[in-house]
Structures are given as C-alpha cells and as structure tokens.
Amino acid sequence: MNMPNRKTGIVRIHVYELRIGMCVSRLEMPEHESPFLFDRFDIKTQVDIQSIQAVCDYVFIDVDRQNEVDVALPAETAAPQKQLGFARSFEQSARTYQQTGNLIKTVMEDIRFGNQLSVTAIKEAAAQCVDKVLENSDAMLLLTQLKHRDEYTAQHSLNVCILAILLGRELDFSIEELNSIGLCALLHDVGKMKVPVEILNKPGKLEDDELEIMHRHAEFGRDILMAACNIVHEAADVAYGHHENVAGTGYPRGVDKTELSIFTKIVGVVDAYDAITSDRIYQKGRTHLMALDILVKGMHTEFEANLVIQFINCIGFYPQGNVVELSSGEIGIVAEQNRSDRLKPKILLILDENKNNTNERILDLATDVSDINGTPYEIKKVVRPQDYNIDLMKLFHEGKFIQNYPVIV
C-alpha cells in the first residue's frame, strides 16, 4: 500500500484490500470507462467490492471518510472481545498455503525421480498465492513464520514465493508480473533436487568438493527449467542467478548487478531473509531484526539497496508471527500490524512476566495501554520462539490465530 497523502488522506490500495465501509475516492482507470455513476462512493456491500474488482486493479480511498465510517459503527463492534482483523479469511489463506506446500513437495520429488515438471500446476499455485497475498497479506505473512525444519526446501520455496509477491506488490507490479515473480520464486531452488541427499541434508560443514556440488544447484535448476515447456523464461534466469550478488562476488558466474534481472534481485533478497530466519539442519534460525540487519549490511555488495529498503517497508520491523518480549517481561506473538504505526502492532499475549502460560488476550500497542504497574507497554526485543518452547505451528493448528480474544484496555 502506498503512503497516504498527508493533506487529503487519500490512499491508493489494491482492489483485493477493499472492505465494506471504505469510501472510494476514484478508480484507477479512465473516467469515461468507469461503470459507476459517481467517482466517489461508499462501499456498502460485498457486491460493490466485486463490481470494482471486475473493472480495475487499484483504487483510491478517502481515509478521513473511512475514519468517519468507523466511528459510526454500532457500539457492539467496540466490545472487549475482539477477533483479529485477518481472521475472516485466514482459514482460506492457510488452506492455499498448505495445498501449495504439498504441491511443491510433490513437484520436488517428481524432479528427484526424473519425472517431468508440471508447469500448469505450478502456474496455478503461483496465481493462487498472488490472489491470497492481495486478499489477505497479513495472514500470508504470518504463515511464512510457521517454520518446519524437516520440510525446509519445500516450505522455503513457498515462503520465498509469498515474500517475493509482497515485495512485488510494494513495487507496484501488475498482476501478470506478480504471477511471474511468484512462479520464479516457487521454482528458484528446484535444482537442489539434483543434489545428492547426503550433501543436501548434511548436518555439519560441507567439504570443498561437497560445497562445489551444492553450488551447482543453480546450474541444475537452470537446465531443468530451460527444458520445461510453456514456462516464463525468467524462471531459468532466477534459478541460475539467485546466488549472484550486485558486486559480482556470488556464484556460479560471478556476474554483477548489470547482468541480473529485477526478478533475480528480488528473489536474492527474500531468499536470504527466509534462509536466515529458518532453523536448518546445521544452524539455528535468527530473529527477524537480525535478518534485517544482515540485509542492510549487505546493501550495495550483496543486495540491491532499494529492494532491501522496499522489503523492510512492506513487512515492517515487527511482522506477523514474530515472538516478542515486552517491557513488562510478558511474551507475545505479533498478530497484526497497525497501519497507522508499524512500530506498534497488536500482540497476542501467551506468557506472563514469569514466562508461564497465561490467558491469551490482545494487546494493541497503538492505544498506549499500560501494564499492571502503570508503565506503558513497549516491545523490548524480538526473541526466538524456540527459546520459550513456543511452537507456532502447534498454535496455528489449534486455531489460536482466528479466535475471539479479550482486549487489554
């Protein structure tokens, strides 16, 4: 989403972000082509949303009018029980995530055993990911945090796909471009299926000859995708070049940024981010903020600086699924962003100040709420969920992210 105009309160959003109660200022299309009688109108029904989605990709909404609509809502919407904002379509997003993850595992195994790549299925999977990211980016971002070490390669490919689509949206990519970058990202590591399992899953440091074979996965991936029919040519470029860097010191060719496509540079950034934050056989994943620090330090040498900055803009400093320790000592999970202040998200509290289980409730840092001692809540630091025996996948399967919770006021 673009930043609002400070004077007018007008924000440009994708049509899949539209919600009932928003005020449309104008559609991003020629006025004479608009099927609506007036440029400015309130969205009152789901049919209104579907009608807009049928004719354009982006609209401008009046945030000030949006706030007026919010104030006018019935009093019961401000009751102390609250469902997380993305919960309504979270289950659909999770279903897409799981189905796509299963498909990627199947595709990877097919390639390992010498079977043909199913391009049609992969294209459909990428398109579904685009739809869900545009419909509910918060939920999809949260799903990328549900790490499962034993399924790293398939899950990593899916996470890179989602993160690449999020970054592409931040860069105002068209739907066609988002579908293409999603496809490229899903298949960027496909060459690893030609690397011997004993090297791919080795728990210790690779020997020089083993490392040389591992590095060849970029070449293997290029060859697999060049042999596939009806696939975008960028996919082979991304598979071959996602470990190159802008200074020309990457592999396998050592080319610099002048020879790398925008898709390759995007996948390079999000691939590194997800790899850094994931538990793997030979290393523990690091926190989100540690990963951002590595990306920032790698600007101009490993990564395109502007893409790192835009990536941070689109996922924020405290994205969904991050586990944080608060100034009170309590532990919670970042459950939702506050669009007005990305540094003050909504937190689902799960452990008390003594790190014992507690009754889950929502803490909205944007409301400047205080703890039992009267001290305003703040995020102290981001922590690894494993350090507090927090299993995000288990919480997900228990439905913790779609329940109604009391709100701390």
pLDDT tens sequence for the chain (409 residues): 344 343 457 888 887 778 888 888 888 887 666 666 666 778 877 667 877 877 887 888 887 765 444 433 333 333 345 566 666 567 778 888 888 988 888 888 888 888 888 888 899 999 999 999 998 888 899 889 887 766 778 899 999 999 999 999 999 999 999 999 999 999 999 999 999 989 988 888 899 999 999 999 999 999 999 999 889 889 999 999 999 999 999 999 999 999 999 999 999 999 999 999 998 877 888 999 999 999 999 999 999 999 999 999 999 889 988 999 999 999 999 988 887 788 899 999 999 999 999 988 899 999 888 888 889 999 999 999 989 999 888 888 777 877 778 888 6
Q: Based on the number of CB atoms within 10 Å of its own CB, is 62 exposed (0-12), middle (13-18) or buried (19 or more)?
A: buried
What phi, psi does 83 have (nearest 5°)?
-95, 140
Nearest to 157 by CA among 59, 235, 55, 86: 235
Q: What predicted TM-score, i.e. pTM, was given to this entire model?
A: 0.77
Query: What residues contact residue 95 under an 8 Å CB cut-off, 6+ apart?
Result: none
- AA identity, residue 234: E
